[in-house]
Amino acid sequence: MGIETAKFLVRAGVNVIISDKSTGKDLDKAKSQVEKECEMGAKVMAIAADISNNDEVLDLAKKIEDEFGGAHIIFHSAGARGAAGDFLELSDADWMKTIEIDLMGAVRVARAFIPQMQKLKWGRMILVASENAFQPYVEESPYNACKAAIINLAKCLSRAYSKENILINSISPAYIETPMTDAMMEDLAKERDTSVEKAVEWFVKNKRPHIAMQRRGKPEEVASVVAFLCSEHASYVNGANIRIDGGAVESAF
């Protein structure tokens, strides 16, 4: 989702910095993918940073400020499924590992970059929640709780900083083709002794029956919504959460 959003932005001439905890080939590959889409003189940088480490987040923010004068747009898409299983069998350590990435990662990023937006007097921040915030799955209680908290965090920050022309929203994707769901499907395929494709079909039918479109979402289908939220076309969208879920959440609200 992050790479596809970066592609949308560089096509519009936006300078983009992509970041991930990985270094070397993975980050270089992502940078190359985005660079191929550059138009209107857009630049692409890649900087490794681990969002579970506050010092690395602050260092990332400093590098961006030194190079570009600050960040106007932040799309915080980093996350992990984290610990899963029977609630009674999950330890404090299981919970804290998920919280460190899925909730505190967003807190650290917002805390590091909102001051830059204040200086620039313009900002757009989009945090990634999930369908799990509305329709929790029993085996993913830490992830569910963190994603619900993300929506609340985005709403809180939107109220605090909108007077400074900083608009903050969240999105709630569901079952998108990402490395996280790829790994889930690979594990399921092994468990069921079948192909990944058959595992996906089984999962949609049996575990996500409310997805009206009966398929996984594509990263670019998320990215197009994020790109809209980053633009002046979304100048009156603030504190909102947009579901990009193919109808996965059964309720209307």
Is residue 253 assigned to a domain? no
- How far is residue 38's CA from residue 59's CA, in Å, rounded to a whole number? 26
Same domain, 113 and 56: yes
Which region among 117-126, 191-200, 208-217 has the lowest average model confidence (pLDDT)? 208-217
Q: Would you state the pLDDT for residue 26?
A: 87
Same domain assignment for residues 203 and 138: no
How many other CB atoms sit within 10 Å of the CB of residue 78? 19
* Domain-located, residue 167: yes
More confident residue, 252 or 68: 68
Structure tokens at 89: 């069998």
In a domain, 105, yes or no: yes
Q: Read off the tokens for 87.
A: 């609630």
Mean pLDDT of 148-153: 98
Amino acid at 34: V
Q: What is the residue range of 9's domain?
A: 2-175+217-244
In a domain, 156, yes or no: yes
217: pLDDT confidence band, cut at 50, 70 and 90? very high
240: domain CATH number? 3.40.50.720
pLDDT at residue 242 is higher than 80: yes
Residue 151 has pLDDT above 80, yes or no: yes
**In this model, does residue 23 exceed pLDDT 80?**
no
- Tell me, yes or no, whether 135 and 203 share the same domain: no
Whether 230 maps to a domain, the answer reads: yes
pLDDT, tens digit (0-9, with 9 covering 90-100), for 28-60: 999 999 999 999 999 999 999 999 999 999 999
For 201, counting Cβ atoms within 10 Å of its Cβ (0-12 exposed, 13-18 middle, 19+ buried), the class is middle
Same domain membership, residue 84 and residue 23: yes
Query: What is the pLDDT, as a whole number, of residue 22?
Result: 78
Q: Express each pLDDT in 100-116 by its tens digit.
A: 999 999 999 999 999 99
The number of domains in the chain is: 2
Query: Same domain, yes or no, for 63 and 117?
Result: yes
CB atoms within 10 A of CB 11: 15
Residues 87 and 159 in one domain: yes
Residue with tokens 């900002």: 123
DSSP state letters, 188-247 = HHHHHTS-HHHHHHHHHHHT-TT-TT-SPBPHHHHHHHHHHHHSGGGTT--S-EEEESTT
pLDDT at 251: 85
Give the pair of three-digit tokens for residue 139: 């085996």
Residue 251 lies in a domain: no
Indicate whether 84 pLDDT > 90.
yes
Q: How far apart are CA 142 and CA 137, in angstroms?
A: 10
Residues 53 and 14 in one domain: yes
The answer to whether residues 204 and 127 belong to one domain is: no
Q: Which pLDDT belongs to residue 208? A: 86
What's the whole-number mean pLDDT along residues 166-181? 93
Share of the chain above pLDDT 90, in %: 86
- Residues 20 and 103 occupy one common structural domain: yes
Whether residues 239 and 132 share a domain: the answer is yes
Output the pTM of the full model.
0.92
Q: Judge whether 91 lies within some domain.
A: yes
Amino acid occupying residue 14: V
Taking the mean position of all CA atoms in its chain, how far away is CA 33? 18
pLDDT of residue 179: 84
Q: What is the spatial distance between Cα 82 and Cα 50, in angstroms, rounded to a whole number?
A: 15
The answer to whether residues 187 and 208 belong to one domain is: yes
Cβ neighbors of 69 (< 8 A, separation 6 or more) are 120
Q: What is the mean pLDDT of the chain?
A: 95
How high is the pLDDT of residue 241? Answer: 98
Strand partners for 20 = 48
* 206 and 93 within one domain: no
Q: Give domain status of residue 73, yes or no.
A: yes
